[in-house]
Structure 1
Amino acid sequence: MKQTINKYIFLFTLGLSLIIAGCSKDFIDLTDPTRIETDGYYNDSASISTAVIAAYAGLQEVYGKASGSRGIYPIAEIASDNTTAVVEGSGVGDFEFFQATSSNQVLQTQWTYNYRVIARCNLVLSRIDAVAMNAVVKERYKSEVKFIRALTYFNLVRTFGGVPVVTKEIRTIEEAYEYGRASVEEVYIQIEQDLNEAKADVNLPDRYAAPADLGRVTKAAVRGLLGKVYLTEKKYNEAVTELGGYVSAYDNTIHSLLPNYSDIFLTTNEMNAEIVFAVRYTKGNVPSTGSPFPNHFSRTTAEAGGVGTGYQFNTLRKDLVDTMTAQGAADKRTAVSFVASGTGAWITRKYRDTPAQDLDADCDWIVLRHADILLLYAEALNEQSAANVATAVPFVNRIRTRAGFTGAALLDPLTVTQGQLRLAIEKERRIELNLEGHRWFDLVRTGRAVEVMNNHFTKYAIRVTTTSPIVQIQAFQLIFPIPINEINTNPILTQNPGYN
């Protein structure tokens, strides 16, 4: 692949430089979408601010946008036992049966757009120190893009395993070819470093008071993501410390569980007290800054708000529906989470809006929310020691209480075992966070992906064709193939085992 930015032609995706495009909501104003000269441009506070905004804007492509990216949900949801792709569309369906190859378009766009965001972050960090501007704002900008860079590397390492780690602005073709794959451990070292440096920044606020700034990175978001990173690495002591610090600092002060589960997802209530970090979208702009999710996740035009097409890229599997409905009428999340769509089909209700046009809605993509972090904390406590079970249980019960459960339907901290709590947290995360992009990564993190998915395929006799064997996955499929275009362009990149 190639991207030309004035005199620079970067054949390798890592070398993609800035394309300043519009993003979303108040704090990300629409800017000139044309390509701009990087040399001599980023030399004042206004241009640095624009570059920071461009880093935020790039997350729209990572998580899903009409311009070509399906987003992260094919990996995070369709590869799991949560959802299915009725219409395959640009390789989306490959994840349902674990048929994704190195030429899969979803994997290519994830690689491309994540590294484009990283390039934008690196440009800011490479240029900002030389710019005369307010010192407090300068340090805050650094922390914002370090969080964004850490988030994108977290997406990449969980999807592909070890990937090239680039932390400086690439300015020549020769530089781009110097980067081969780092180890998984090296990627996580960089992620931890970025997040710890952002956490230490006294200029990064715990929250923003101005509505126009809602959606920017906060210290709460940094601590929540860092705790999740530690938990994913099985660094349970560090995870307990970080997530516990988040709870002590922000629980029921800056962030809290909303009384009504349905209110979390209303487009009229975005960036509410439960939202810790979200990728923001706004419909009706030119160039488009809207989200595609109401159209992608619906089966008909009517279900998509009456505008555009229902693409059927991400509909609920029967197993998820059965799991939620088995909770009984007390679980208020069921009615909010899905609705029947024809015979044996269900669509999510979490991404509801009337788009301005096809693939142009107002729904944000929630990356971190308070319930997610409370459950991560309960998981970290439980994994750290069986002695922590009684301490962890109340955090799970808070989620269940909000869902509508009382009395015997809550976990008993005096009788539940570590193993029982482990499975209870897994189930609670599946229901509470359904279709929010967590299920596959949760299964991989807990070491349960192969067992759960193979049992799921067997239970429902899922086959690629009516005459083929029941689908079963192997351990190598816990990560996905490196895009073949990247290997062909940069020969020092190597493919993951098990893939061509």
Structure 2
Amino acid sequence: MTFNQFFSGAAVATLLGLATLGTTSCSKDFIDLNDPTRLPTTLGYTDSLSIVTGVTAAYASLQDIYGSAPGNNRGMFVFTEIPSDNSFALTSGELLNEFNDFSISTINPRLQSQWQVTYRAIARCNIILSRAGGVKLTDATRNRFFGEVRFIRALAYFNAVQIWGDIPLVKDEIASIADAYKFGREKKENVYALIEEDLTFAENNLPTAQAGANLGRATKGAAQGLLGKVLLTEKKYAAAALELKKVIDANNYALQATYANIFLTSNEMNTEILAAARYTKGGLGIGSAFNTWFMPVLPAAVATTINGNIGTGQQFNSVDPDLVAAFTASGATDVRAAASFGTYVSGTTTLYYTKKYIDLPTSSTDAENDWIILRYADVLLMYAEAVNETGGTITSAALDAVNRVIRRSRNLPVATPNATVDLPATISQADLRARLALERRLELNFEGHRWFDLVRTDQAIPVMNAFFTRTGSVSRIDSHNLVWPIPQQERQTNPVLTQNDGYPSAL
């Protein structure tokens, strides 16, 4: 499916993947996709139930964006972890190695599939925004639905603008294939403007909390936290600090006392999670594949001792020894190391694998693990970064935010000052900047932040080139590598799409 097909209306049926609320048990009912239905958009979205199912379809898009084996898209880790110093690709069949060594081809299928699922998500959101205004709903209900899909649309665009830079900006439902061809690439500043507008609306119209069957739907705190990250990425530091402080001051989220507990499938959507792409195992077609994708190919006896897996690991990518070395330098008291990666020795080769997505799957690609999009530790570290980058003296509140994360990493009470591990009030801006970069790398490893963090802080080129030198790689990057190429197939389908500098422009 190419660009124009995502947005066609009456002429092309839209794959919605619809289900009503409560079709199966557990707390993920709102994403259940039993009996996916292909509906022409001219026939759907005429009453309140169809709007509910449409919003459900928009949420389902997050599974595709963050990784779905049935959907054949590997997800955001391809763009956020593999290009970084956190991991390296172990398989060439998936062409993940092209992201690993920055030898990316414009026909790479991972580029194409990510583009597809991104604009499919945006199309689903735009249809709801276009149609729900004419459906009989209370203003509060309509605005809550609008807030949810505008959060999803903002998230999709935020990922896309960080991957590709200037991209097509589609704000409304597209009714014909001919109309789709009119969309060229929009300046990223205009894309960010829509993202900010969407998240501001979501912040003002979403509930403070979701519970029961709605657990995992977007909330006010999720919108505020994501908006803070967007503003930080735009280097609007003062505005970012204000938005992130709202999350902290609301006191609706808290660090888990034990770092490892964040990632337990028995503890999903815990007090630390603001937003996640949700998955449910059990043969429903909506389980996650991360357990298999990240686990080594192990003998059955060894696999069973790790996670009950019967040798089904594919290990698309491995934890890089450079990340292991960073944990070693952090000290034996840093409990995040034991919770973040494991070791398996095969002959003379030592393999490392992430432990954040371990689960006993129903089948090889049917596990329970959610993909955490935003959590409270991220908010605390971003808040400290935003305050530090304003150029003034670091505030006690911002310093306490990062110190809470550091204390938890040492298994200490997060709210109790500790002179042994706390950063001093006299720390310089440069030293705090460096420490925040390290803490983000260790705290958020393999959660889809590292590459975007390096680009946001203007450290991607020096950090990665130093990494390549240190590891003996011949790879080097420059400014053109800070975004990825526009997929060739999309440019052939829609000739008005231009290519990013430094990549082949010929069709």
Partner of 1:403: 409
Whether the 8 Å CA contact 2:255–2:377 is kept in 1: the answer is yes
Whether the 8 Å CA contact 1:298–1:310 is kept in 2: the answer is yes
Aligned residue for 1:459, secondary structure, equals: helix
Structure 1 residues 6 and 395 mapped into 2: Cα distance closer, same or farther (>3 Å)?
Answer: closer
Whether the 8 Å CA contact 1:276–1:369 is kept in 2: the answer is yes
Match of residue 66, structure 1, among 66, 69, 85:
69
Letter in 2 for 1:459: R
Structure 1 residues 334 and 180 mapped into 2: Cα distance closer, same or farther (>3 Å)?
Answer: same
What is the CA–CA distance in structure 2 between the aligned matches of 1:308 and 1:169, rounded to whole Å? Answer: 45
Aligned residue for 1:128, secondary structure, equals: helix
Aligned residue for 2:350, secondary structure, equals: coil
What is the CA–CA distance in structure 2 between the aligned matches of 1:29 and 1:453, rounded to whole Å? Answer: 40
What does residue range 121-270 of structure 1 map to in structure 2 within 5 Å? 121-201=125-205, 204-208=206-210, 210-250=211-251, 254-270=252-268
Aligned residue for 1:200, secondary structure, equals: helix
What is the CA–CA distance in structure 2 between the aligned matches of 1:407 and 1:88, rounded to whole Å? Answer: 48
What is the CA–CA distance in structure 2 between the aligned matches of 1:191 and 1:307, rounded to whole Å? Answer: 43
Structure 1 residues 74 and 7 mapped into 2: Cα distance closer, same or farther (>3 Å)?
Answer: closer
Partner of 2:439: 428
Match of residue 367, structure 1, among 362, 373, 379:
373
Whether the 8 Å CA contact 1:307–1:355 is kept in 2: the answer is no
Partner of 2:295: 298
1:384 aligns with 2:390: yes
After superposition, what is the alpha-carbon deviation per residue over 1:415-470, rounded to whole angstroms, capped at 9, x for unaligned? x10000001000000000010000000000000000000000000102xxxxxxx1
What is the CA–CA distance in structure 2 between the aligned matches of 1:320 and 1:5, rounded to whole Å? Answer: 41
Partner of 2:330: 327
User: What is the percentage of aligned positions where both structures have the same residue?
Assistant: 47
TM-score (norm 2): 0.91
TM-score (norm 1): 0.93
What is the CA–CA distance in structure 2 between the aligned matches of 1:109 and 1:243, rounded to whole Å? Answer: 32
Partner of 1:33: 36
Partner of 1:461: 472
1:281 aligns with 2:287: no
Measure how far apart 1:8 and its partner are: 4.7
Measure how far apart 1:334 and its partner are: 0.8
Aligned residue for 2:353, secondary structure, equals: strand
Measure how far apart 1:304 and its partner are: 6.0
Q: Which deviates the most, 381-390 or 18-27? A: 18-27
Structure 1 gaps, min length 5: 11-15, 463-469
Aligned residue for 1:366, secondary structure, equals: strand
After superposition, what is the alpha-carbon deviation per residue over 1:232-280, rounded to whole angstroms, capped at 9, x for unaligned? 0001111111111221123xxx100010001100000000000000000
Whether the 8 Å CA contact 2:486–2:499 is kept in 1: the answer is yes
Measure how far apart 1:314 and its partner are: 2.1
Whether the 8 Å CA contact 2:157–2:195 is kept in 1: the answer is yes
Partner of 1:272: 270
After superposition, what is the alpha-carbon deviation per residue over 1:386-420, rounded to whole angstroms, capped at 9, x for unaligned? 31255422211110101116533321112x10000
Measure how far apart 1:328 and its partner are: 1.7
Aligned residue for 1:423, secondary structure, equals: helix
Letter in 2 for 1:206: T
Partner of 1:484: 488
Structure 1 residues 231 and 4 mapped into 2: Cα distance closer, same or farther (>3 Å)?
Answer: closer
Aligned residue for 1:256, secondary structure, equals: coil
Whether the 8 Å CA contact 1:308–1:358 is kept in 2: the answer is no
After superposition, what is the alpha-carbon deviation per residue over 1:3-46, rounded to whole angstroms, capped at 9, x for unaligned? 59998556xxxxx8343256982222334313112213211111
Structure 1 residues 107 and 137 mapped into 2: Cα distance closer, same or farther (>3 Å)?
Answer: same
Partner of 1:465: none
Whether the 8 Å CA contact 1:276–1:370 is kept in 2: the answer is yes
Match of residue 460, structure 2, among 449, 467, 472:
449
Partner of 2:364: 358
Whether the 8 Å CA contact 1:20–1:34 is kept in 2: the answer is yes
RMSD: 1.8
Whether the 8 Å CA contact 2:18–2:54 is kept in 1: the answer is no
1:45 aligns with 2:48: yes
What is the CA–CA distance in structure 1 between the aligned matches of 2:55 and 2:467, rounded to whole Å? Answer: 43
Letter in 2 for 1:447: D
Q: Which deviates the most, 158-167 or 132-141? A: 132-141
Measure how far apart 1:367 and its partner are: 0.2
Partner of 2:340: 337
Structure 1 residues 389 and 96 mapped into 2: Cα distance closer, same or farther (>3 Å)?
Answer: farther
Aligned residue for 1:88, secondary structure, equals: coil
Whether the 8 Å CA contact 2:372–2:447 is kept in 1: the answer is yes
What is the CA–CA distance in structure 1 between the aligned matches of 2:106 and 2:112, rounded to whole Å? Answer: 8
Partner of 1:467: none
Letter in 2 for 1:335: A
